[in-house]
Amino acid sequence: MNKYLQLSEVCIDFPTPKGPFRALDKVSLNIAQGEFVSLIGHSGCGKSTVLNIVAGLHQATSGGVLLEDREVNAPGPERAVVFQNHSLLPWLSAYQNVELAVKQVFRRTKSKAEMRDWIIHNLELVHMTHAMDKRPDEISGGMKQRVGIARALAMEPKVLLMDEPFGALDALTRAHLQDSLMEIHADLGNTVIMITHDVDEAVLLSDRIVMMTNGPAATIGEILQIDLARPRKRVELAGDARYNHFRKEVLAFLYERQRKVEDIGAQKRAPQAASSTRVPLAKQA
């Protein structure tokens, strides 16, 4: 198997007042070029931490990450991140947000006109050219997320890292963006790691689903290969026996093998925080 991106025995300890807190323990994973991998697991298990280590925003305490056999130890545009809450610069328009990234990555290789075309091309990919002169506070949540994706794609990353890119969106918008993402992935063949809480989303989009155990010292519990033919159509798959089998596998992992017992108490104390993660799963179950 092609080892484009390798995580080998990644462990991380966060310093806390009570001593080091081991968030991840020996996470090992190989990802092939062009592969679409989802990370799924209960809230707080360490999914974002894995992504941030690949991004270079966190440093592993032991173990490490190799991209094309070179060690990752700092953030960089070849590992573009789509952040959980869009993270657009609020004082720049959609166009300017993408422009900032494009200028930084291509300032030596593209002319002004080429950069402009490239920015518009990427905004077109996410169907945002009609609102490219609007600022983030003038566009909807789904549109912001799309601009965030355009910004990441415009860096022409080797690996696209997405932290719950559609988590905060309503079901219709989410479905629409999932379709766009599948199209883009089919066209460009990016290597993608996506964090999600949504079982349907994971099965629909991924080549593999990586299921993480609960923290502390979380690690990879199981890996599920999704060999459904592409292009995938959500409506057709809804009645597909294999699709439903994969869904059931993931649900069984999350709710039987990795049930979060203490979460029920936490849910009562913090209904807001818990519901954001639980409702989508409950709907599907």
Lookup: tokens for 275:
């519901």
Asked if 157 is part of the footprint of ligand ATP (rule: CB under 6 A), the reply reads no
Write out the binding residues for another protein, residues 144-183 only, by CB under 8 A.
Answer: 155
Given ligand ATP, another protein, Mg ion, none, residue 215, with its beta carbon under 5 to 8 Å by kind, binds ligand ATP
Residue 79's binding partner among another protein, ligand ATP, Mg ion, none (Cβ under 5 to 8 angstroms by kind) is another protein
x/- contact string, 33-52, with ligand ATP (CB under 6 A)? --------x-xxxxxxx---
Q: Retrieve residue 135's tokens.
A: 């600022």
Sign of torsion, CA 137 139 140 145? negative
Rounded-to-integer distance, Cα 105 and Cα 169, Å: 29
Interatomic CA distance for residues 75 and 33, integer angstroms: 19
Q: Can you tell me the distance from the alpha carbon of 145 to that of 86, in angstroms, rounded to the nearest whole number? A: 5
Partner interacting with residue 55 (select from ligand ATP, Mg ion, another protein, none; CB below 5-8 Å by kind): another protein
CA distance 217 to 12: 9
Q: Does 54 bind ligand ATP (CB under 6 A)?
A: no
- Of 94-113, which residues contact another protein (CB under 8 A)? 100-101, 104-105
| CB-CB contact of 232 with 182 (8 Å) | yes
Longest CA pairwise span in the chain (Å): 57
Q: Of 6, 38, 48, 190, which lies in the binding site for Mg ion, with binding defined by CB under 5 A? A: 48
| Residue 43 binds: one of another protein, ligand ATP, Mg ion, none (C-beta under 5 to 8 A by kind) | ligand ATP
**Edge-to-edge strand order for the sheet containing 208-212?**
79-82, 159-163, 191-196, 36-40, 208-212, 220-225
Task: Determine the number of helices (DSSP H) and then strands (DSSP E) in the chain.
Answer: 10, 10
- Total interface residues for ligand ATP by CB under 6 A: 13
Task: Give the whole-angstrom CA distance, residue 209 versus residue 171.
Answer: 21
Asked whether the beta carbons of 162 and 194 are under 8 A apart, the reply is yes
Scanning 32-40, 65-73, 80-88, 211-219 for contacts with another protein by CB under 8 A, the matching segment is: 80-88
The residue among 238 and 279 lying less far from ligand ATP, judged by its C-beta, is 279
- Stretches 73-81, 116-124, 126-134, 237-245: which one binds another protein (CB under 8 A)? 73-81
Q: Which does 34 bind (CB under 5 to 8 A by kind): Mg ion, ligand ATP, another protein, none?
A: none
- Please choose, out of 7-15, 33-41, 48-56, 185-193, the segment that lies near Mg ion by the rule CB under 5 A: 48-56
Contact between 86 and ligand ATP by CB under 6 A: the answer reads no
**Residues lying near ligand ATP in the complex (CB under 6 A):** 14, 16, 21, 23, 41, 43-49, 215
